[in-house]
Amino acid sequence: GGGGGAMAEDEGLVSVDYEVSGKVQGVFFRKYTQGEAKRLGLVGWVQNTSHGTVQGQIQGPTARVRELQEWLRKIGSPQSRISRAEFSNEKKIKALEHKEFQILK
């Protein structure tokens, strides 16, 4: 792989939905996700689902969103055990649709 020239791709804002499966409820997963998103300057939301997964939406600069996707895939909260992280509905957006990153009940 050659380098360079790809930065322009990462300039814009993107929105992406996610769902994380595994042991992700009751392990402060939402709180840690919110903390990580805020650290990266992202907005969106996170919530527990009735079928034991955590889902939500991330919006922000492409490169930062990619970082949170990696975090959701591999790290999560200290006690969590992630078996799968799926991402869908990725799209470029002109402006952020959320003011902050919040935990929904």
User: Which residues participate in catalysis according to the annotation?
Assistant: 30, 48
Tokens of 29: 């997963």
Q: Tell me which residue of 62, 57, 61, 92 sits closest to 72, measured CA to CA.
A: 57
Give dist(CA 58, CA 53) in Å, integer: 16
Q: Is the dihedral of CA 105, 29, 27, 22 positive or negative?
A: positive
Angle, alpha carbons 60-16-58 (nearest 5°): 45
